[in-house]
Amino acid sequence: MGPATHYEHSGTAPLGGVLLTLIVGTVAGVVLGAIYGFLIEWSPFIYINLFITLGFSLGLAAAVGIAAKLGKIRNAAVVTVLALLVATLAYGVHWAIWISQMTEAPMLSPKEIWEMISAINLIGPWSIFGWTPTGFSLWAIWGIEAAAILGISAISARGINDVPFCEATGRWATEVTLPLHFAPLPDTPEFNSPGSLLGALRPAEDDSAAYTTVSVSTVEESDLRCVSIESVTVETNKKGEEQTNKTNVVKNLLFDRDSFEQLMRMAQPAANQGL
């Protein structure tokens, strides 16, 4: 096996980092789950619930992702499992609060909560367009809600943690997008070396609707240098509004010192113009 061409996490998951993430995630899960339960019960329109659910999921992801980053967890699978555990706890808290608010009953045991959920499922708690979902239909809707919360929480938490980490210095990298736009890259096989990428980069034409952006991830006092590439197109929709579409082309390609300095010199003219 040859040397690595792209950065990959080491897979390390420090016990202290896992415990920190569990503690922070548990606190956030209880608080956000309670808030979610109150908001779902309060919400006057079922359509608003979609945005409430999205905000709830992203809040859980932020808590887990940031805690995992502080705990220096470099294992995507561990972060995923932690996010799923926290999201499951938070979703359970939401049910307890929601049922308590709906029935005006004191906090119930898990068994009593399940019995109440089953009873509510038979009559339907809300209607939309004159239709009151019950039985299998309502179970399916609740299942989609749960899957969305778990999925968004896990994927977003991993995204926050998806940053290069320097094992030598024990620091996360800082990512910066270079100011110079480059021309669209040719349709070639995957770029697996700094030389192949540098040979394909050319300055973009002014006001071009299609271009390439370059982001670099570095750590102070470290030889870790990663380069990521995105293809960008700007289109005008039927309403006359501009829409920007981005596609990841290269993710965290490892650069040596000389190649990295060459890349920075290529982007220097645009940096000088901004001074």
Which of 110, 127, 162 is a domain's end point? 162
Which stretches within the chain are classed as H helix? 15-42, 48-70, 76-103, 110-123, 135-161, 194-200, 257-273
The tens-digit pLDDT sequence of the chain (275 residues) is 456 799 999 999 999 999 999 999 999 999 999 999 999 888 767 778 889 999 999 999 999 999 999 999 999 999 999 999 999 999 999 999 988 877 776 666 778 888 888 888 888 777 777 777 888 998 999 999 999 999 999 999 999 988 999 999 999 999 999 988 899 888 766 788 999 899 889 888 777 788 999 999 999 889 999 999 999 998 877 777 778 899 888 999 999 999 999 999 988 764 444 43
- Is residue 227 included in any domain, yes or no? yes
The DSSP result for 151-164, as a single string, is: HHHHHHHHHHH-S-
Identify the domain boundary among 131, 162, 193: 162
Give the per-residue pLDDT at 42: 85
The structural domain count of the chain equals 2
136 plus 99 within the same structural domain: yes
How many residues in total does the chain contain? 275
**Residue 83 has what pLDDT?**
97
The residues, ordered by sequence, that sit 6+ positions from 19 with a Cβ below 8 Å of its Cβ are: 71
Say whether both 22 and 151 belong to one domain. yes
User: Quick one: pLDDT at residue 179?
Assistant: 87
Full residue range of the structural domain in which residue 260 is found: 171-273
Q: Same domain, yes or no, for 137 and 176?
A: no
Same-domain status, 32 and 52: yes
Same domain membership, residue 146 and residue 124:
yes
Residues 40 and 93 in one domain: yes
What is the pLDDT at residue 272?
A: 45
235 plus 146 within the same structural domain:
no
Does the reported pTM lie above 0.95?
no
